[in-house]
């Protein structure tokens, strides 16, 4: 009986240690709000699949993180706030587009720099935006339009 309790205690202790290691590892690799950048905002007509913590990328390279997503009750647009790494100076005519990593991947914000020599100030707003695309809606539109085209030809 004592031997069984000792084995159960050791197994329980092992599980607790492994769980603690996972928590420590998760905390060390996650990007917490380190304050190593400046914030900019943008408004989108839709932000499907975008979450707080999603990447902000330029030329495929991560340069920031989505920090907040809120609905503007006046315009019914989604307000997104990003934290951009220090050292990345964005022109004030930069555009933002929500794109997908693939069919099963998550969404991220892709920034395309403009040609302006004026820079976007911290706390500024990206004015040129394109919201996310609903793939299911696109497929259903294609199916319905193909169905309508066949019936019109007959």
Region 106-130: what's the mean pLDDT?
91
Higher pLDDT, 104 or 5: 5
What pLDDT is attached to residue 72?
A: 92
User: What's the pLDDT at 148?
Assistant: 63
Counting other chains too, the contacts that 121-126 makes at CB distance below 8 Å and 24 or more residues apart are 122/38, 122/39, 122/40, 123/38, 123/39, 123/40, 123/41, 124/40, 124/41, 124/92, 125/40, 125/41, 125/42, 125/43, 126/40, 126/41, 126/42, 126/90, 126/94, 126/95, 126/96
CA 121 to chain centre: 22
Which position has the higher pLDDT, 95 or 28?
A: 95
**In this prediction, what percent of the chain has a pLDDT beyond 90?**
51
**51-74: pLDDT as tens digits:** 999 999 999 999 999 999 999 999
CB 93 within 8 A of CB 114: yes
Position 33 pLDDT exceeds 80: no
- What's the mean pLDDT in 5-22? 88
């Amino acid at each position: 009986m004592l031997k069984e309790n000792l084995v159960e205690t050791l197994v329980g202790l092992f599980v607790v240690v492994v769980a603690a290691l996972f928590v420590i590892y998760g905390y060390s690799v996650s990007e917490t709000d380190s304050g190593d950048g400046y914030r900019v905002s943008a408004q989108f007509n839709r932000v499907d699949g975008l979450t707080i913590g999603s990447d902000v990328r330029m030329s495929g390279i991560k340069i920031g993180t989505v920090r907040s997503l809120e609905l503007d009750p006046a315009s019914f647009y989604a307000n997104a706030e990003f934290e951009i790494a220090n050292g990345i100076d964005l022109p004030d005519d930069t555009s933002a587009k929500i794109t997908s990593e693939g069919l099963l991947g998550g969404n991220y914000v892709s920034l395309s720099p403009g040609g302006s020599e004026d820079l976007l100030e911290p706390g500024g707003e990206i004015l040129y935006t394109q919201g996310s695309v609903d793939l299911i809606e696109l497929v259903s539109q294609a199916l319905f339009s193909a169905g309508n085209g066949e019936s019109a030809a007959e």
